Structures are given as structure tokens and as C-alpha cells.
Amino acid sequence: MLKKIKHLWHIIRRLAGDDAYEQYLKHHAEFHQSTVDAPPPLSRKEFFKLWQDDKWKGVKRCC
Amino acid sequence: MNKNFKTIMWLAVALLGAFAVAGIALNRGESINALWIITAAVCVYAIGYRFYSAWIAARVLVIDETRATPAERLDNGRDFVPTNKWIVFGHHFAAIAGPGPLIGPTLAAQFGYLPGTLWILIGAVLGGAVQDMVILFFSTRRNGRSLGQMARDEIGAIGGTAALIGTFLIMIILIAVLGLVVVNAMKHSPWATSTVAATIPIAMIVGIYMRNIRPGRVLEASIIGVVLLLLSVWGGGWISDHETLRTWFDHDGLPLAYAIIVYGFAAAVLPVWLLLAPRDYLSTFMKLGTILLLAIAIVILRPEIHMPAVTQFVDGTGPIFGGKLFPFVFITIACGAISGFHALIASGTTPKLLTNERDIRMIGYGGMLLESFVAIMAMIAATVLEPGIFFAINSPAGVVGKEAVDAIAKINSWGFAVTVEQMQQLAKDMGESTLFARTGGAPSLAVGMASIFGSAFGKHLLALWYHFAIMFEAIFILTTLDAGTRVGRFMLQDMLGNFNKKLGETSYMPSVVFTSSVVVAGWGYFLYIGVIDPNGGVNILWPLFGIANQMLAAIALCVATGILVKSGKLKYAWVTALPLLWLVIVTTTAAYQKVFSSDIRVGFLAAADDMATKLYSGVLPPEKAAVAPQLIFNQHLDAYLTLFFVVVLWVVIVDMLRLCARYLAGKRVPKLSEVPHEPSRMVEDWVRD
């Protein structure tokens, strides 16, 4: 039961974009940290700014 | 599961569905239970999804589970991200479900519950859901390219330009009509106006919280916002009872329209994080929550439908909008059955998130079925009202008369029982001064929802439920208005960028102000005319929007049919060609009637001539004579706009047919722009966390 609630909470967070930064860090660690002099990941604030601006380019809402 | 058992189960679903559809179609009694409609809908959707969409996926599109999707190949952690299919479904549904499927069915209920319900079911299963799924598939195979780009690549420059212009114009008309719906809901209603006004600072608080106080904490901020919104509904009641405060929010239609125009401009120019994005979070939460609540309430309550199956207004004399059942029921219910706008969402954002092609069926086809179900619920909420009350709320003063007594007498003469006292009591219950001539569909839907919620969860709160429903509709209408104005601005900047590089820069302030002004002026004009029109404006704007939306759907289906033929799948091309044919018939007939009909409530030119004659012979009362020249000009403009839509549509169709003919004759055509096959490296369990 507890596991199911946790899973639901996970889905809600993902849907809302609440965990977007954590997802980004994961992606960054996986793909962009291969070299030593790779740039560090963005801060939460910087990332959120970019993410939100990206999200609102183009048709995002319908009638 | 045993194979025989499965067969028996699907046979049972088919029988139950057929039984329920026959039940709602053949019922001629006093009333019918809403559960019949729900049952019919669920069975039709289940069969359509299980068999038709599976067949399309396997045979027509030949979905390939082993093929890497753009999200996998181009994964960048931001816009191309392989995502769990339920999450994509949520995003996709939140994007396609707007106010359209709520308003269209409410207006179409003037024909009775049956025509609209049947079209919502048939249109979605055979048309709308197919369009969404097919476009989603083609865009996925083309790295998430937009409909306009696909039209250009696959058909030619003409198709691409037509899709672009079509999208821009539909946006203008859509925003105008949505603005009009909100204005009509707020007119002389301090409660509704103050609640809707409060959503603006609430959205800003949420925006600042997410940006600066606790960056990226979307859920926390949204919860705070939702609580504030609910408080604002309650606070609106307090303002409405307050002697002086209420006068601040008690306005005519015109000042409210100006306020919305100023707001629209501000929203397009202000940074997204401050107003648009937080408002969108709130509206998405409210939308999903309220739709779920409505579904639960309908199932608990199982209300009786009081509207007749078919009313006498199928002959074209309807008070809400003029025009016969064919073609106007198919124009009025655009979203919920088939909506061209969805093609813009299905090409663009959603394909960039798909982990596997097999999810296309559930997200494209399934997402549209859920939207169609929202339209069914709106139809139920509109038809549970006594027809007399429904018509009293939705008939414009220009049709039934300004005075309550006249309106009631007129509605009674149509054979629908309602009294002045009944309407006064209803207005009092809902916390409004009057509910007469609140056109646009939102208020009658709110009354219907309030009575359903009231019966299911407590009747003493009717006024709160009513204003909750108004707030719920207004908040996502305003989100569409913000987002639409912004998209219009981007599109215009993109077009102007071809002539002047500087104007094309999205952050160049003079260009931002200029293009935003043009877009806002465009819809602001139609909104202004809609407000001063004594026939309510909805009568003109909604059919125009419907024609534009169906035209866009037809363009999307043209692109899809062209691609199918070019891929050597001529024998399956009917899957998109048949809905296309139907839309072309409907749109062309409707456009012809809207322009040339001699009925002044249908034909733009006839209405303009009639008003001009009356104006010159001096029979118009002074207040009508003052606005008559503007209305005459507008009727002409609407006629040209409608003609323009039809011409654009036919240009694309002829272009597509030419392309198909060339391909079949073995001549050279633009190459398929599909990205070559690359095997997927994804292990299912690894992404589906």
C-alpha cells in the first residue's frame, strides 16, 4: 500500500514538473560528466528559469 | 485470460453499448437517465479503442516497437526526454483539453441531447481520435516536426503556408469568442468578476514563489495557489454582499471587455514566469480536479436528462445560434468530436517525450477519447437543466426580449415551461441578480454543474458551487487567452522575421510590443463587436470558430492522407480520407450558408443588408442605430473571413489531390521526410521507473 502511494506521489511530482531539476541532474551526471573539465550542472534557480522559458515556446494549450 | 472468455466479454460490451445507444436514440418518454449516455459512451470508446485503434496501429501505421523514438535518439534532458507513458498521457491530455469541449456541447444542446451526443461519440471514434493518433505518429517519425512544417515538407509550400495562416486566424477567433464567454459570465456579477479578478494576483504570487522564494517547487506553489483560489470564491460572495465593495466589481459588458483586452496585452508582454506559467499550473490542477469531481458526481447522482432528445430547433430557428441541424451541430461541437487544434499539440511537444512508438495509440487515440468524454459530461450538465431554464439563460436579449416577462412568454410559446419566479429563485440560489440572457454557455454549464454538485455534495452551497464553476471555467479560458496571444505573437514575429530580421527577434522589445498589439487588436476587435451585438455575439463568433477549427482539422487530415498515399498505403487512405471528406462537406456547406443564406440569423450578407435597410428607413431605436454601421461592417468582414477559410481549405485539398495523382501516375513528388530507422537501445524497465 505504502509503495503504491509512493508511486502515485512520484507520478504526480513528475506530471507537475516538481522533480524536473532532479531529472536534469540525473541526466547531467549520466551524459555530461564524462570529462574532468565538463561544466558543472546549472543551479536549481538557473535550471528552472530555462525550463520554464522552454516550456512556453510554441503551442502548448488548446481550445 | 482465456481467449473464449475475452471474446464473450467484448461481445457483451458491444451488446451493452448497442443497447444503450438504442436506448438514448429511441427514448421518447419524459426523461432519460444520464447513466444511459455514460454507458453508451464508455462502450463505444472501449470498442473503438480495442479494435479500431489497434487495427490502425498494426495495419495502417505499422507501429514499430523496435524503432528508436526522437526522445531516445535526441535525448537532451530538456525538451527531448523519454518519459513514462502515463506522464506523457497526462501532459498531452492537459494540453488538448480546454474550454472548447465544455462550451460546444452546451450550445449544441439547443437541438436536444441526441444529435450532439451521437456526433461527439461517432466524431471522436472515427474522426478526432484518428486524427490525433495519426498526426502524433507522423510527427514522431519526423523528429517532432510541427503540422505546418510537415505540410510544407510533404505536400508543398502552399500547404505549409495555408496551415500557418489558418492557425493564426483560428487563434484570433478562438480568443475573441472565449473572451466573450468570460465577459458574459462576469457582466453585472460582482461575485464572478471579483473572483476572476482575484485569479490574477494569485497567479502572480504563485509565480514569484516558484521563481524566487522556492525555485522549482511547483507542487508547493500550486497547492498554495489552489487554496487561495478557493478562498477567492468564498471571498467573492462576501464582496457581493458588501454595499460599497460590490459596486467596484459591478460592470457592463464593454468595460469588462476592455479590461480583458488590457489584460491580454499585459499577459503577452510580461515574462511567462510571472503570470502565464503559474496560471497554467493552477488551471491544469483545477481542470483535472473539477472534471474528476464532475464524473464522480454524475455517477453518484445519476441525474435525469430533462431536455428532449430532439427539439424543434433542428429546423434552424434556434435561439442560441441560427442554422439547421446539418451542418451546424457538426460546426458547434468541434472540440470533443474532432478538433484541428489538437494536431498542433500532437505535432510538437508530445512526440518529443515518447519512449516507444507503441505508446502512440494510448496517448493519441486514448487522449482524444477522454476529451470526448469531457464533452459528454458537459452535454449531461447542460441537459439536466429544465429546458425552459436552459433557454432562458442562453437566449440573447435580441431574440427573446430584454424584459423578463417577454423572455418567459417567448420561451413558453416554444413549449418549454418556465416562470419569472422560477428564474428569480434560481438567480437568488446562485447568488446572482439575474440569469437571463447569460449567453456563451459558461453560466448555464455552471448552473448545471452547481445543481449536480449541490445534489451530490450538499445543496445549501449552491451559490458557492456556481461561482466555483464560473471560476473554474474562467481560469482556463484566461489561460488559453494568455497562451494564445503569446503564440500568435511568436507566429507573427516569425513571419515578420522573413522581411526584417530585427522584428523576428522574440526578445526585441519594440517588436514584442508591436506584434502583441497587432494580435490583441485582432481578437479585441471581434470581442468588442461581440459585446455590442444585441444578438449576443456568440451567434456569430462560435460558428466562425467552429468553421476555422474544422478547417484546421481538414488540413491535418489532408497532410495525413497525402503521407499515407505517398507511403504506398492507398488502400488504407480511407482511414483519414473519409473523416476528411465529411469535414469538407460540413465546412463548405456551413461556410456557404453563413455567407449566402437569406435567413438573417444565418447569412452574414443577408444580416448586413437587413440591418442597412432598417437603418436607412429609420426603424431602428437610437441605441441600435448607433452601433448599426459597425455591425454591418463586421458582418461583411465575417463573410470575407469565412470565404477565406474555405478557399484556404480547398487550396490545400487540391494541392493534396494533385500530389496523390502525381504519385500514383509515377511522377516525381516531394520525398517522404521520415527519419530513417534506428533500432531502439532502450530496455523497458530501465526508463519506466
Count of A–B CB contacts within 8 Å? 113
The pLDDT score that the predictor gives to residue B685 is 46
The three three-digit cell numbers of residue B82, written as one number: 523519454
Burial class (CB in 10 A: 0-12, 13-18, 19+), B689: exposed
Grid cell of B343 as nine digits: 494536431
pTM of the predicted protein model:
0.94
Percent of chain B with pLDDT over 90: 77
Q: Please, which residues have CB within 8 angstroms of residue B125's CB and are 6 or more apart in sequence? A: B44, B45, B48, B52, B369, B372
pLDDT in tens, B19-73: 999 989 888 777 899 999 999 999 999 999 999 999 999 999 999 999 999 999 9
**CA distance linking residue B64 with residue B67, whole number of Å:** 6
Is the Cβ of A17 closer than 8 Å to some Cβ of chain B? Answer: yes
Contact A18 B348 (CB under 8 A): no
**From the CA of A1, how many Å to the nearest CA of chain B?**
18
Over pLDDT 70: what percentage of chain B? 99
Predicted confidence at residue B172, as pLDDT, reads 93
For residue B215, list chain A residues with Cβ-Cβ distance below 8 A: 44-45, 48
Nearest CB neighbour to B215, from listed A11, A14, A44: A44
User: Any CB–CB contact under 8 A between A20 and chain B?
Assistant: yes
Locate the chain A residue with the closest alpha carbon to B477. A63
Q: How far apart are the first and last CA of chain B?
A: 27
- How is domain B61-188+251-303+313-678 classified at the CATH fold level? Amino acid/polyamine transporter I (1.20.1740)
**For strand B304-305 and strand B32-33, is the pairing parallel, antiparallel, or unpaired?**
antiparallel
User: For the residues B625-634, what does the mean pLDDT come to?
Assistant: 93
pLDDT band, residue B536 (cuts 50/70/90): confident
The mean-pLDDT minimum among B234-238, B505-509, B530-534 falls in B505-509
Chain A partners of B219 at a C-beta cutoff of 8 Å? 12-13, 16, 18
Cβ contacts of A18 on chain B, cutoff 8 Å? 216-219
Whether chain A has a CB inside 8 Å of the CB on B353: the answer is no
Compute the distance between CA of residue B134 and CA of residue B105 in angstroms, rounded to an integer. Answer: 25
Segment (H or E) for B193: helix B190-208
pLDDT reported for residue B192: 95
The pLDDT of residue B688? 44
Q: How would residue B1 be classed by pLDDT, with cut points 50, 70 and 90?
A: low
Question: Are the CB atoms for B216 and A48 separated by under 8 Å?
Answer: yes
Provide the pLDDT for residue B684: 52
Task: Note which residues in 46-105 of chain B have CB less than 8 A from chain A.
Answer: 75, 77-79, 81, 83-84, 86-87, 90-91, 95-100
pLDDT band at residue B683, thresholds of 50, 70 and 90? low
C-alpha cell at B183: 465577459
Distance from chain centroid for Cα B127: 16
Grid cell digits, residue B199: 485569479
8-state DSSP, B32: E
Q: Does the distance separating the beta carbons of A56 and B276 come in below 8 Å?
A: yes
Which of A12, A27, A60 lies nearest to residue B95, judging by beta carbons?
A60
Q: With beta carbons less than 8 A apart as the criterion, state whether B307 and B383 touch.
A: yes
pLDDT score at B48: 97
User: Contact at 8 Å (CB) between B551 and B587?
Assistant: yes
Mean pLDDT taken over chain B: 92
Residues 6+ apart with CB under 8 A from B170: B340, B341, B545, B548, B549, B551, B552
In chain B, where are the structural domains located?
Answer: 61-188+251-303+313-678
Q: Do A63 and B78 touch (CB under 8 A)?
A: no
Cα separation, B174 vs B459, whole angstroms: 35
Residue from the list A14, A27, A61 with its beta carbon closest to the beta carbon of B77: A27
How distant is the Cα of A36 from the closest Cα of chain B, in angstroms? 20
What angle (nearest 5°) sits at the alpha carbon of residue B30, between those of residues B24 and B35? 40
A33 at the B interface (CB within 8 A)? no
Contact A58 B349 (CB under 8 A): yes
- 8 A C-beta contact, residue B407 and residue B374: no
Does A59 lie at the interface with B, CB-CB under 8 angstroms? yes
The pLDDT tens digits for B142-192 are: 999 999 899 999 998 888 888 888 889 988 998 999 999 999 999 999 999
Q: Does A25 touch chain B (CB under 8 A)?
A: no
Partners of B67 in the beta sheet?
A: B679
pLDDT tens by residue, B307-363: 999 999 999 999 999 999 999 999 999 889 999 989 999 998 899 999 999 999 999
pLDDT digits (tens, 9 = 90+) for B60-90: 999 999 999 999 999 887 778 898 999 999 9
> With an 8 Å Cβ cutoff, are A61 and B98 in contact?
yes
Side chain identity at residue B578, one-letter code: L
**Chain B contact for A18, CB < 8 A?**
yes
pLDDT bin (cut points 50, 70, 90) of residue B196 is: very high
pLDDT band at A40 (very low <50, low <70, confident <90, very high): confident
The per-residue b/e assignment along B631-647, b for 16 or more CB within 10 angstroms, e otherwise, is bbebbeebbebbbbbbe
Count of other CB atoms within 10 angstroms of residue B104: 31
pLDDT computed for residue A36 by the predictor: 64
Helix (H, G, I), strand (E, B) or coil at B569: coil
Distance CA A43, CA A21 (A): 9
- Within an 8 Å CB–CB cutoff, is residue A7 touching chain B? no
Q: Phi then psi for B547, rounded to 5 degrees?
A: -60, -45
Instruction: Retrieve residue B623's grid coordinates.
Output: 441605441
Residue B526 CB neighbours (<10 A):
25
Q: What are phi and psi of B515, to 5 degrees?
A: -70, -40
Q: Which residues of B touch A62 (CB under 8 A)?
A: 95-98, 100, 335, 339, 341-342, 344-345, 480
Going from the C-alpha of B263 to that of each of B475, B522, B621, the distances in angstroms are 13, 14, 33
ipTM for this prediction: 0.89
- Among chain B residues, the shortest Cα distance to A54 is held by B79
Query: Is B8 touching A (CB cutoff 8 A)?
Result: no
pLDDT the model gives residue B160: 83
Q: What is the pLDDT of residues B386-418, one digit of tens each?
A: 999 999 999 998 899 989 999 999 999 999 999
pLDDT grade, residue B261 (50/70/90)?
very high
Q: Which amino acid is at B656?
A: M
